[in-house]
Amino acid sequence: MNKIGLIIRREYMTRVRKKSFIIMTILGPVLMAALFIVPVWLAMNEEDEANILVIDDSFLFNERMTDTDKIHFHFPSDRIGLDSAKRQMIASENFDAVLYIHEKIMTSTAGIQLVYDKQPGINVIRYIENTLENDIEKWKLAKSGIDQATIEAAKTSVSLVTTKLDEVGSESKSNTELSMVIGMFSGILIYMFIFLYGVQVMRGVIEEKTSRIIEVIISSVKPFELMMGKIIGIALVGLTQFLLWTILSATLISGSKALVEQHFATEDPTTSIEQAMSTAQTLAPESEEAVAAELNQAAIEDIFANIEMINFPLILFSFLFYFLGGYLIYSALFAAVGSAVDNEADTQQFMLPITIPIIFSFVMAQVVINNPESPMSFWLSMIPFTSPIIMMVRIPFGVPAWELALSMLLLVIGFVATTWLAGRIYRTGILMYGKKISYKELWKWLRYH
Amino acid sequence: MSEPIFRAENVSKAYAGHVAIENISVTVPEGSIFGLLGPNGAGKTTFIRIINQITGPDTGTLWFNNEKLDQKHLQYIGYLPEERGLYKKMKVGEQALYLCQLKGLSKKDALQRLKYWFEKFEIQSWWNKRVEELSKGMAQKVQFIVTILHQPKLLILDEPFSGFDPINTNLIKSEILELKKNGTTIIFSTHNMGSVEELCDHIALINNAKVILDGEVSEVRNRFRTNTFDIDFKGSLMELSSSLGTYGELIERTSDQEKLGATVRLVNGATTNQLLGNMMRSVEVTGFTEVIPSMNDIFIEAVERYNRENLAV
- Sketch the domain layout of chain B as residue ranges: 4-222, 226-290
Q: Which residues contact B180 (CB under 8 A, 6 or more apart)?
A: B31, B32, B33, B186
> From residue A68, how far is each of A63, A93, B290 by CA, in Å?
14, 20, 112
- Report d(CA B176, CA B18) in Å as an integer: 35
Whether A449 and B103 lie within 8 Å, measured CB to CB: no
- B86: nearest CB among A213, A220, A221: A213
> B82 or A447: whose pLDDT is higher?
B82
Nearest to A264 by CA among A272, A256, A254: A272
pLDDT tens by residue, A367-414: 888 888 899 999 999 999 999 999 998 888 888 889 999 999 999 999
Quick one: pLDDT at residue A172? 55
Best residue in B40, B53, B54, B94 for a mutation probing chain A (most A CBs within 10 Å): B54
Contact A220 B102 (CB under 8 A): yes
Chain B residues in contact with A207 by the CB 8 A cut-off are: 87-88
Distance CA A159, CA A22 (A): 45
- In a mutagenesis test of the A interface, which of B49, B50, B71, B102 is the best target, namely the one with the most A β-carbons within 10 Å? B102
Q: What is the pLDDT of residue A309?
A: 64
CA distance A3 to A229: 9
CB B34 within 8 A of CB B202: yes
Q: What is the pLDDT of residue A441?
A: 81
Sign of the dihedral through C-alpha A214, A218, A223, A226: negative
User: Which residues face B64 on adjacent strands?
Assistant: B6, B67
CA dihedral B275, B280, B286, B292 (to 10 degrees): 0
Q: How far is CA B290 from CA B222, B225, B233, in A?
A: 11, 9, 15
The helix-helix angle for B166-181 and B136-148 (nearest 10°) equals 0
CB contact under 8 Å between A431 and B49, yes or no, is: yes
Q: Is the predicted pLDDT of residue B310 greater than 70, yes or no?
A: yes
**Closest-CA residue to A365 (of A163, A173, A189):** A189
Mean pLDDT score, B216-225: 89
| Average pLDDT score over residue span A53-72 | 79
Can you give the pLDDT at residue A279? Answer: 45
Averaged confidence pLDDT in chain A: 81
Q: In the structure, what pLDDT confidence band is assigned to residue A281 with cuts at 50, 70 and 90?
A: very low
Cβ atoms of A204 and A338 within 8 Å: the answer is yes
- In this prediction the pTM is 0.75
The three state secondary structure string of B167-178 is HHHHHHHHHHHH
Confidence tier at A285 by pLDDT (50, 70, 90):
very low
pLDDT at A164: 64
pLDDT score of A10 more than 90: yes
Looking at domain B226-290, its CATH superfamily turns out to be Peptidase S8 propeptide/proteinase inhibitor I9 (3.30.70.80)
Chain-centre distance for alpha carbon A28 = 15
Say if domain B4-222 classifies as CATH 3.40.50.300.
yes
Q: What residues 168-227 of chain B have any CB closer than 8 A to a CB of chain A? A: none
Residue A260 confidence (pLDDT):
62
In A, which residues are within 8 Å of B71 by CB distance? 222
**What is the residue type of A218?**
I
Q: Domains in chain A, ordered, with CATH?
A: 51-144 (3.40.190.10), 175-447 (no CATH)
Per-residue pLDDT, A52: 85
Instruction: Tell me how far apart the alpha carbons of residues A9 and A223 are, in angstroms, rounded to a whole number.
Output: 17
pLDDT at A254 over 70: yes
Provide the mean pLDDT of chain B: 89
ipTM: 0.83
Beta strand extents in chain B (DSSP E only): 4-15, 18-29, 33-37, 59-64, 67-68, 77-80, 154-158, 185-189, 202-207, 210-216, 228-234, 248-255, 260-266, 284-290
Task: Tell me which DSSP letter residue A443 carries.
Answer: H
